[in-house]
A and B are shown apart, each in its own frame.
Chain A
Amino acid sequence: MVPLWMYLAVAAALFSIGVFGVLARRNAVAILMSVELMLNAVNINLVAFWRYSETSTDLLLNGYAFTAFVLIVAAAEAAVGLAIIITVYRNRRSVIPEEARALKG
């Protein structure tokens, strides 16, 4: 069986790749894709800790159910985020977040 820290190391690498994408990419769609990578890294961690921990029976499903809820929230986030990106593009002809500054004081 693969030791727990290997799963955590891969999840850490995936999360760092996502952080780099969010910080460095210019396209808003690419930033949203990087956020999805970060969410998946967290999901790997949750499922790995759930699998490797010895829990009592009433806490048996916490990690499993939490991962399912993270998936639900990620779907909602992607739908609303992409709708915002499409609206900004329609109004400003741009998908670069720095150029959407109509509310800047």
Chain B
Amino acid sequence: MELNAISIGFVVFSIFTLGGGVGVVTTRNLFQGTIWLMVSLFGVAGYFVLLSAPFLAAVQILVYIGAIAILITFAVMLTRSVARIKERYIRILPSFIASLALFLILLLGVTVPIFGAHSPGSIPEYVASTRDLGAALVDENGYVVPFLLASVLLTAAMIGAIFIARDENA
């Protein structure tokens, strides 16, 4: 791996992503955990830029950092969960062993060609643009049915969240 802008960016975003992830699962204060989650999601958005998917990077920042992380912050505040829980973890040792074993298996799977070797020699020159995605989303041979179903799902989730979280006594 030669030293250029992409490889430097890869290392930086790896530090962001994995460091933020470790911060999420280890921090005691969940407010700080939300900040770590934002750092990790920002690293993932950087990966999307490196993989020439700038639209997904923008959506990642708008939806994840702008909406979901703020939603989680509100949930942390509404449940006042910082003060009450003394123990952060249950069954920490078996969980650690299980996740470490999972990581080793996955690492073996992606580095050693157990499931058949396929190494792309060269990366394709032509990359689909955001314009192509927009055309495919409304193309009847493309993704118009999942696109419409996604809007139905979002509406249902919104109404469901309001209905579930409504205080009946208020």
Q: Is the CB of A64 within 8 A of B21?
A: no
A17 contacts B67, CB within 8 Å? no
In angstroms, Cα B119 to Cα A3, docked, is 9
Partner pick for B128 among A23, A60, A95, CB 8 A cutoff:
A60
Contact yes or no, A27 B21, CB < 8 A: no
Q: Determine the main DSSP class of A at the interface with B.
A: helix
Taking CB atoms and an 8 Å cut-off, the chain A residues in 23-40 that contact chain B are: 23-27, 29-30, 32-34, 36-37, 40
Q: How far is the CA of A82 from the CA of B76 in the complex (A)?
A: 9
Q: Could you tell me the distance between the alpha carbons of A85 and B96 in the complex, rounded to whole angstroms? A: 25
Nearest A residue to B45, CB-CB: A40
Output the nearest chain B residue to A34 by Cβ-Cβ distance. Answer: B25
Q: How far is the CB of B91 from chain A (nearest CB, A)?
A: 6
Of A2, A48, A80, the most chain B CB neighbours within 10 A belong to A2
B interface residues, Cβ below 8 angstroms from A: 1, 6-7, 10, 14, 17-18, 21-22, 24-25, 30, 33-34, 37, 40-41, 44, 47-48, 50-53, 56, 59-60, 63-64, 67-68, 71-72, 74-76, 78-79, 81, 84-85, 87-92, 94-96, 98-100, 102-103, 106-107, 110-111, 119-120, 123-124, 127-128, 132-133, 136-137, 141-143, 146, 150, 153-154, 156-158, 160-162, 164-165, 167
